[in-house]
Amino acid sequence: MIPALRKLAERIDTEWKEAGYKPVDLPEIASRALADARPDREYDLSALADWTLTVPEFPDACNPFGPAGPPAFTVWSNPYFFVNVYVYTTPEVVVHDHDFSGAFMNLSGVTIHCTYEFGAADAIDETVHVGALKLKGMEAISEGRVRPIEAGGRFIHQVWHVSQPTVVLVVRTPPLTATLRQFQYLRPSIATQVFRTDSLSMGFPERFSYTRKMAEALRVSESGIEFVKSLVRRERPWDAVWHVMENWRYLRRTGALEEVIALGARYQGEWFASMESAGTDHDVFTSIYWPSVTSSRDRIVLALLLSFRSWAPIEQSLEGLLPGVDARAQVIETLAGLTEAGVIGADLQQRFLLPLGVK
């Protein structure tokens, strides 16, 4: 497996070098090479395990997830691009775009791939944009299917990994930080920059790292709410958004959430009022204990419930992905089982069922 990936990387490097190493050309070159080479046919996780035990020196790495994310292995790199293997054991990835270009292929497993557009976007500043996030398409990607990665807002997507594990091969440039930023999208209308450390892992601005710790420390004191209010009033837009996100349940429990969002709309701008919807959606996403969602059917159901906002497309997609299934019965079965197992709360079960008319 590893020799085949090295050979693939060398072919991509040769073709891309001849094209002048322009980032805009890599998606097409890498996609063509992946489709021709079909490295999924030589995929072997045990071979990757042997490589980690026997390689004398590892390539310069690019791990965009950091130590808390899924296992990520850079198996080949040079100053122009990386060849990474990601092993996803949980299904969820947030909606995001990219500050790099390249291509990806599933080496093993199936992924539900959702693409989005972010219409009529306005920049609050360089780190926060507001617009209208709209689901553009959904497809199931199996082994050997290749998808290019375009840098910037032309390619916004979310991936739900159905199989356990789902192993993905990614050919990508380093961050193109001189020309663009990477964003995470919060439904229905807010995009916030993804910050990276020097090692290319996810991180936070230094000031936010300190103030978030202080907010956490003060949650048990009488001054906790006032401190969060001061953060929303005084900090820049990105910090204000994520201070509310990180303190969402605390503010809701204490009855201060509505007041804090209104305060943000007053000091940050009217756009901040959409935090009510964005925060609720994000809280639903993070309230699920994803490591315990192991069934492929349960993963598909949750992906559809979190991607669509009405019953008809959920039913159509579920019956297309699981031919012969009774969509309503499957949704009820999944939510009941996950609730009984403590993976989701009873309140979340009702939140999913009632708006869809499923009883």
pLDDT tens per residue, range 283-304: 999 999 999 999 999 999 999 9
Residues contacting residue 332 through CB under 8 Å, at least 6 positions apart: 353, 358
232-251 pLDDT tens trace: 999 999 999 999 999 999 99
pLDDT value, residue 205: 87
Can you tell me the distance from the alpha carbon of 101 to that of 25, in angstroms, rounded to the nearest whole number? 9
Residue burial 185-203, b: 16+ Cβ < 10 Å; e: rest = bbbebbbbbbebeeebbbe
Sign of the alpha-carbon torsion through 273, 275, 276, 281: positive
* E strands present in the chain: 72-77, 82-88, 96-98, 102-108, 111-123, 128-141, 146-149, 152-161, 166-172, 183-186, 190-193
3-state secondary structure of 241: helix
Query: Which of 11-25, 200-214, 220-234, 293-307 has the lowest average pLDDT?
Result: 200-214
Per domain, the residue ranges of the chain are 2-193, 206-285, 288-356
Residue pair 197/204 in contact (Cβ under 8 Å)? The answer is no
Burial classification of residue 244, based on how many CB atoms lie within 10 Å of its CB (0-12 exposed, 13-18 middle, 19 or more buried): buried
Peptide bond into 188 cis (omega under 30): yes
Burial classification of residue 289, based on how many CB atoms lie within 10 Å of its CB (0-12 exposed, 13-18 middle, 19 or more buried): middle
pLDDT value, residue 14: 98
79-115 pLDDT tens trace: 999 999 999 999 999 999 999 999 999 999 999 999 9
When pLDDT is cut at 50, 70 and 90, the band that residue 345 belongs to is very high
Can you tell me the distance from the alpha carbon of 110 to that of 12, in angstroms, rounded to the nearest whole number? 25
| Residues present in the chain in total | 359
CB atoms within 10 A of CB 333: 15
When pLDDT is cut at 50, 70 and 90, the band that residue 67 belongs to is confident
pLDDT value, residue 76: 97
Can you tell me the distance from the alpha carbon of 94 to that of 87, in angstroms, rounded to the nearest whole number? 16
CATH architecture of 2-193: Sandwich (2.60)
Q: Could you tell me the pTM of the whole model?
A: 0.93
- Please compute the mean of the pLDDT values over residues 116-132 and round it to a whole number: 95
Sign of the alpha-carbon torsion through 171, 173, 174, 175: negative
pLDDT value, residue 351: 87
